[in-house]
C-alpha cells in the first residue's frame, strides 16, 4: 500500500467548512461567581488539637469524678464544649437540669442514666442525649471505671466545672475527698453559681 503524504498534506491544508468553524457569537462566557451567603473566614480563629493525656490539659476533680476539658467556648466561639469524663464506681453528679443540650458518648464501661424518673443503662459504644431543661442525672453503678465524652451546646458548662471543682494532675486522678465542712461549702458554692450557668439542682431526676 502506497501512502501519498503530499496528498494528505493538501487535504489537511484545505479550509474547514464554515459550519465547522468556531462561532464566537455562540461561545459561552464564564458565569460570574454568586456571592456567598456564608460569613468570611475568621483568620483570628486557629486549629485546635487537644489530647486528654497532655500535660497541658485542664483536669478538674468534682463529685468524685475527673473532668478533662478538651474544648471550651473560647475554642468554639461559644457554640459547644467537649469534656472527657472519668467516672469511677459510685461517681456521677446529683440530680439537676440545665438550659443547654447535653450529649454523652460512652467510650468505656457503663453508666446508669435517670431521665425524667426513668432509669436506663448506657454502655460503651452507645450515645445518650439529654434535651435542654429535662431533669436527669448519671451514676456509675458498676464496679468498673466509666469514660464518657460529654458535649454541651452552647458552651459554658466547662467554666462551671472550673469554678466549682479542683485541679488535679491527670485524666484519672481522683479529687481529694473533702471533709464535711468543705463539702458543705462546695455545695453552697455550686448552688450559688448554678443560675449563672443556667443550671438548677433538683431533689430527684
Q: How far is CA 161 from CA 49, 63, 187, 199, in A?
A: 21, 10, 13, 12
Question: How high is the pLDDT of residue 198?
Answer: 97
Q: CA–CA separation, 85 vs 58, rounded Å? A: 12
Listed in sequence order, the residues at least 6 apart from 61 whose beta carbon sits closer than 8 Å to its beta carbon are 67, 165, 166, 167, 168, 173, 174, 175, 176
Mind listing the pLDDT tens digit for each residue in 40-65? 999 999 999 999 999 899 999 999 99
Question: How high is the pLDDT of residue 166?
Answer: 96
SS3 label, residue 110: strand
Question: How high is the pLDDT of residue 33?
Answer: 77
Question: How high is the pLDDT of residue 31?
Answer: 72
Contact 161, 60 (CB under 8 A): yes
Q: CA–CA separation, 43 vs 31, rounded Å? A: 28
Output the CA torsion sign for 190, 85, 143, 182. Answer: negative
Q: How far is CA 159 from CA 7, 58, 187, in A?
A: 86, 11, 16
- Residue position matching grid coordinates 429535662: 134
pTM (2 d.p.): 0.82
Question: How high is the pLDDT of residue 11?
Answer: 47
Question: How high is the pLDDT of residue 15?
Answer: 55
The per-residue pLDDT string of the chain (205 residues; one tens digit each, 9 = 90 and over) reads 334 444 454 545 455 555 555 555 556 666 777 889 999 999 999 999 999 999 899 999 999 999 999 999 999 999 999 999 999 999 999 999 999 999 999 999 999 999 999 999 999 999 999 999 999 999 999 999 999 999 999 999 999 999 999 999 999 999 998 899 999 999 999 999 999 999 999 999 9
Fold observed for domain 58-201: Jelly Rolls (2.60.120)
Of the candidates 127, 87, 91, 131, the residue with the CA atom closest to the CA atom of residue 109: 87
Q: Is the peptide bond before 167 cis (omega within 30 degrees of 0)?
A: no
Of the candidates 5, 205, 63, the residue with the CA atom closest to the CA atom of residue 120: 205
Domain borders along the chain are 58-201
Question: How high is the pLDDT of residue 147?
Answer: 98
Of the candidates 116, 122, 142, the residue with the CA atom closest to the CA atom of residue 204: 116
Amino acid at each position: 500500500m502506497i501512502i501519498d503524504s503530499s496528498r494528505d498534506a493538501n487535504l489537511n491544508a484545505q479550509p474547514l467548512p464554515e459550519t465547522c468553524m468556531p462561532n464566537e457569537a455562540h461561545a459561552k462566557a464564564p458565569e460570574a461567581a454568586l456571592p456567598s451567603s456564608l460569613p468570611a473566614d475568621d483568620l483570628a480563629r486557629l486549629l485546635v488539637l487537644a489530647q486528654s493525656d497532655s500535660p497541658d490539659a485542664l483536669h478538674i476533680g468534682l463529685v468524685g469524678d475527673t473532668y478533662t476539658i478538651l474544648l471550651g467556648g473560647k475554642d468554639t466561639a461559644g457554640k459547644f464544649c467537649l469534656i472527657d469524663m472519668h467516672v469511677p464506681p459510685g461517681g456521677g453528679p446529683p440530680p439537676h437540669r440545665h438550659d443547654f443540650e447535653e450529649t454523652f458518648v460512652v467510650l468505656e464501661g457503663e453508666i446508669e442514666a435517670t431521665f425524667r424518673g426513668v432509669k436506663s443503662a448506657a454502655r460503651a459504644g452507645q450515645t445518650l442525649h439529654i434535651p435542654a431543661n429535662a431533669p436527669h442525672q448519671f451514676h456509675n453503678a458498676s464496679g468498673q471505671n466509666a469514660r464518657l465524652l460529654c458535649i454541651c451546646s452552647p458552651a459554658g458548662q466547662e467554666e462551671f466545672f472550673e469554678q466549682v471543682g479542683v485541679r488535679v494532675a491527670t485524666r484519672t486522678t481522683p479529687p481529694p475527698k473533702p471533709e464535711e465542712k468543705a463539702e458543705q461549702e462546695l455545695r453552697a458554692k455550686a448552688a450559688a453559681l448554678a443560675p449563672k450557668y443556667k443550671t438548677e439542682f433538683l431533689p430527684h431526676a
